[in-house]
């Protein structure tokens, strides 16, 4: 199973966006984008949503 960050990184690769371009489109810093890709615990859900929105994707979160 892929993490959310891995899935978003896959979308970035599929679309051919650089880190700088994707972070600009998502409205987050490049450092935050890299943290999103690593699914680091301090990343806010809004950052994941911002990146997913660039790819016109919805996030589904399963708890438990």
Domain that holds residue 25: 4-54
Residue 64 has pLDDT above 80, yes or no: no
Let me know if residue 29 belongs to a domain. yes
Let me know if residue 8 belongs to a domain. yes
Q: Residue 58: its pLDDT value, please?
A: 79
The tokens of 35 are what?
Answer: 């943290």
Structural domain count, the chain: 1
Judge contact between 50 and 27, C-beta under 8 A.
yes
Residues ≥6 apart with Cβ < 8 Å to 45: 61
Let me know if residue 9 belongs to a domain. yes
Q: Residue 20: its pLDDT value, please?
A: 98
Let me know if residue 21 belongs to a domain. yes
CATH of the domain at 47: 1.10.260.40
Residue 63 has pLDDT above 70, yes or no: no
pTM of the model as a whole: 0.88
Q: What is the pLDDT of residues 1-59, one digit of tens each?
A: 788 999 999 999 999 999 999 999 999 999 999 999 999 999 999 999 999 999 998 77
Let me know if residue 36 belongs to a domain. yes
């Amino acid at each position: 199973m892929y993490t959310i960050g891995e899935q978003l990184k896959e979308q970035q690769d599929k679309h051919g966006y650089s880190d700088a371009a994707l972070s600009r489109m998502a409205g987050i810093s490049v450092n935050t984008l890299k943290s999103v890709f690593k699914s680091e615990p301090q990343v806010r859900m809004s950052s994941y949503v911002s990146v997913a929105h660039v790819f016109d994707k919805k996030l589904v979160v399963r708890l438990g």
